[in-house]
Structure 1
Amino acid sequence: MKNTTIAFAALFAALTAVGAFIKIPIPYIPFTLQILSVYLAGALLGPKLGSLSQLCYMLIGLVGLPIFAEGGGPSYLLKPTFGYLIGYVLGAYANGWFIQRFNLKRIYSIFFANVSTLLIVYFFGCLWLYGSMKWVIEKPLSLHETLLFGFYLPAPGDLLLAAMSAAIIAKMRPRLKNTIIKQGAA
């Protein structure tokens, strides 16, 4: 891996960390701007480098730096929000894969790739939320409550971010084609 490639992965890990601190508190799962960095990382860095950036973010937080929305450290594995972090890694990969594989260029098609990313993030997030509340915190949520707090409440804001980032990606991707994207595909 080239030094510039590592720098791009670090940049998007840092952007995800910044997004964690811009939040609107809602019960159990705060609404943050992190998903914006996930969309951008996958689309602009490609599947491998995009997911690597999110994996770096997750590992740096698990080591102990308080860069997650609610802190950091290995105990974060037991938090109801940890599943979303797993989803970020897999979602960034999926977003980059869809956009590269199908050569998506139009805003609406990139938006749908972003929505697929969001569904991956929500799947792992809600699954972890349900399990954590039931077996770790011992205040189980019903399936309806899990979907309400883990999906329905944050979804409108995340869909707005998916649309905004689709417009950004459509404009930036052609300009970055010979730099970041080419290195991320390698």
Structure 2
Amino acid sequence: MKLKTKELTTCALFAALIAVGAFIKIDIPLPMYTMHFTLQWFFVLMAGFLLGAKLASLSVIVYLCIGLVGVPVFAAGGGPTYILRPGFGFLLGFVLAAFLIGAITEKLKKTNAFTLILPATVGLVAYYTVGAIYFYCMKNFYAATPVSWGIVIVDYCLITVAPDFILCVSAAVFSAKLRPVFEGMLNGYSVKHKAKNKA
């Protein structure tokens, strides 16, 4: 996959924003695991809305790679052993979510704050599904601390899904206004030039 300089720069920018989002967090202590509610999801949404499927998912992958090599850009640090944490699945879920959000957004005939709620919701479901499955598997098959699906869903998903949906709405509103700018930048022409051609 060959990328232009501006595409690489944009991916690096969003990888950095996702990393910054990890440090804007609220720790939620739960019986078996401390959940970190962060603004990472907001920037994953923005990446999907503004960059499209390929660049958005690549931005998240870059972020994950930076964290896994040891840079403490995750909510609880970094390093290769982070994959053994039950909550790592939610970070993996960001990759699928970014791809799906970008892919659906690219197919929308109209992109406004209302229509962007659809890809955001699909991405939210994907993000939580991957996270829940990974959490369940790590707890039951690796950590040997059995946990039921009910506990995973109620205690580790439902507790943060409402705030995350609010982030979906917020990102949709912001992205609806920013999309023309990013489309112009990534497609090699300015919004002003595009407007002239339409006139």
Name the SS of the counterpart of 1:38 in structure 2.
helix
Which of the numbers 80, 88, 95 marks the counterpart of 1:82?
88
- Is 1:157 matched with 2:163? yes
Distance 2:77 2:136 in 1: 20
Amino acid of the residue matched to residue 21 of structure 2? G
Question: Which of these two proteins has the greater Rg computed from alpha carbons?
Answer: 2
Which of the numbers 6, 13, 21 marks the counterpart of 2:15?
13
Residue 41 of structure 1: aligned partner: 47
Name the SS of the counterpart of 1:141 in structure 2.
coil
The 5-angstrom pairing of residues 34-183 of structure 1 reads 34-180=40-186, 182=187
Distance 2:96 2:111 in 1: 22
Note the alpha carbon deviations across 1:41-99, whole angstroms, 9 max, x for none. 11111110010000000111111111111111110111011111111111111101000
Contact 1:40 1:165 (8 Å CA) reproduced: yes
Q: TM-score, length-normalised on structure 1?
A: 0.93
**Deviation of the 1:131 alpha carbon:** 1.1
Point out the structure with the larger helix share. Answer: 1
Name the SS of the counterpart of 1:133 in structure 2.
helix
**Deviation of the 1:35 alpha carbon:** 0.5
Note the alpha carbon deviations across 1:135-174, whole angstroms, 9 max, x for none. 2222222111100233100101100000000100111112
Distance 1:92 1:35 in 2: 10
User: Which one scores higher on RCO, CA 8 angstroms, separation ≥ 6?
Assistant: 1
Runs of 4+ with >6 A deviation: none
Q: Where does structure 2 lack aligned partners over 5 or more consecutive residues?
A: 189-199
Say what the alpha-carbon RMSD is for the aligned residues. Answer: 1.3
Name the SS of the counterpart of 1:24 in structure 2.
strand
Q: How high is the sequence identity, in percent, across the aligned residues?
A: 38
Q: Which deviates more, 94-103 or 157-166?
A: 94-103
